A and B are shown apart, each in its own frame.
Chain A
Amino acid sequence: MTEPTAVTSHGTIPPAADESVNSTSQSGIRAMWESWTNRVFTMREDRFFLFLAVLIGILSGLAVVCFRIAIEWTQIELLGSSISPTFPRVILAPTLAGFAVALLVIYAFPRARGSGVNQTKSAVYVSNGYIPFNTVVGKFITCALAIGSGQSLGPEDPSLQMGAGIASLIGRRLRLSQEKVRLIAPVGAAAGLAAAFNAPISAVLFVLEEVIGTWSAGVLGAIVLAAISSVVTMRAFLGAESMFRVPPFRVAKPADLLAYVALGVVGGLASLVFLKWLAYARPKMQSLPSWTQHFQPAAAGLLIGIIGIRLPQVMGAGYPIIDQAMHGQFTWKLLLILAALKILATGFSFLSGTPGGMFAPSLFIGAMLGGAVGAIEQHFFPALPGTVGTFALVGMGTFFAGFLRVPITSVFMVIEVSGNYTAILPVMISSLIAYGISRSYIKVPLFDLLARQDGLVLPSVEERREQLILTVEDAMRVDAALVLEPGDRVTEVTKRLEGKEDLLCFLRARPGEWNFIERSELQRLAADGSETHTAAELQFKGPLPFVFRDMSLEEALHWAGDWPALPVLSRADLSKLEGLVTLDDILKAFRKVPVR
């Protein structure tokens, strides 16, 4: 945050080449380089930003590839190569690694603790896009150790933050404008998340939904480019296969979709339980004496290890286990037990402050719950289409939507991670139900809740969504204007205005050209007693900017102060006045809206 950021104008980036160098002495390569950099740095900043997005995407993709390899290697070294680790390893690995992680976080990488999403969000809204590179290194090392040792956390959130950190560093070093430096962190975040999930669309949607919180056209192109670049890079090294292989299925009848309603309810309730627990327990854990932080991750690791003795499936990110659940490898009882224990294990890891993400565990819990609901439903209704795998897939999106409160992302994520479009309707139905249940009982989404517990007040996407957007229609007055034509006689107009003190006069010169006439001007011209004066002779103010009834009041506010009134015209006919709006009307409308 203390690094200087040379703020440039919004135009082009000024070339910073040393002019004193004698061009004749330059080598051919150097000449080419200078010519290229000159072209790069003299391009418009928007275009340069897109160029950087690609660079950030590639670097983030590479970082995520290395991160995933590091996690796998750590896992093989610490837990062994079997999905069922042997007894001493299953206890010792998460406990000892938890202790090591705690020391690293306390003494070397203090900012590695916490949610990567919130840290990226606070970089955008609090610290002008600044994310220290030390956090990237810290996240890489501590998360690889934690997840690889079996802590119940996922690699997506750290990947997101690593991407954001890389982007932030590049933006600062290249001395972009402050606005671009602030926006570059989400670009990197999208790249990191896209590579981690192998899902570019979901990553773009998540960053827009959760990190930026708005559909900003200015940054959308860069985010998309970065996400694509990172996914392409990741696929070049780790393969292009979908994360999960779901057996094919089809929804035969619309009534079959009812089966997924129950899943939505179960997913919503489960996400509610998990959220309530985290919201309650996190402040309690944070209020413990600081020395306990040395041991909290180890204690969490020990508890997870104890669970892992009987059910090692709950350890780590759990992607192979999700794959097995999708292939109907577990009974509904075991699926329910795994879901419950994963909630416990993830809670232990998260509450202990162990660095890592909640994405993978929430997918795991959702898949297990979905599989269980599917198996139970199929037991009672054998004719039900779809397999347990289908329900597990839909369950992932359902719990994700209820827990992280990102319903749009969850739908696309399910499609992308499975490569299966057939699931879209079931996922939409159950995700919306889960989201609705979760929202009904917990008003604040997870990431906002965590931010508030940490003393940060970051803008909430959900709150923004719920904000009432006032339009001109909310403030405009109808039948409050008298429309004059250039040929109207002033005396007649004066008569029409008698007794109607509130009426304002507009002169319609031609369609789309409206002017304002003061009453005093009418009276001035009418005072000489001549019957021949027409409206065309009046002095007017205009042409007035006009507005439409669906335009936001913020837009109308731009002009309202400069003119006595603004005409509200029909979009279909610019010669038709639908009403008028004044600054006073607009302010009154704003005052009516309850303050948050």
Chain B
Amino acid sequence: MYAGLSADEIRITGHDGDEIPAYLAQPNGEGPFPGVVVIHHMPGWDEPTTEIANRFAAHGYLAIAPNLHHRDAPGAAPDDAAAASRAAGGVPDDRLVGDAAGAVAFLRALPECNGKVGVIGYCSGGRQAFLVGCSLNVDAAVDCYGAFVVGQPPEGMNMRPILHLAENLQCPLLGLFGLDDQFPSPEQVDELEAELKRLGKSYEFHRYEGAGHAFFNTGRDSYRAGAAADGWQRIFTFFGRNLAS
């Protein structure tokens, strides 16, 4: 653990060269530190997301959380922007990949960065973390209960099935899921694992009994202390192994 960290809102260059806001949390010291891109959940670029970034910084990671809803409602409050994004069909996959690429490039350009960058996402961000792992040159990806990696997303959303992209996965993948979840269902998690196994990909899945969706979220009834504590330990072990200098 690092005793001190600093955090601020910055601007980064995202998809199509657009400037978007991002939350950057950094451990004090010269490093070198690995980097983590934190992809927020569907309710938006909110306080729980910044708390996750702060936690990574406290553990010695340069953590950045881009505001993926910025273009849907520039300057709006995160909850209003999340509603605007939903009304527009959600974050388009190509825009997400472009914004994540900007965040990865920003981290790697920091003098304190050791050059290794991982990505982690929760809920809708879990699917997007998998998408980033299949689309960009990152060193590790963590999918926390991301729905619709397997299965057809609802009509009207800017998403497409992405299981077929698994063959492009170039980094180790950690998956953390609740067995009481229905989006993704245990069967869908099994299907994803079977595909990764068939393709010979490096992956590590953990499924938690008595946990449903969003078991990491301390502000919700869905929080499961045991699953969350074990999950965080798995995450830091996984990133520690794959993002070390």
* A complexed with B: no
Which residues of B line the A interface, CB within 8 A? Answer: none
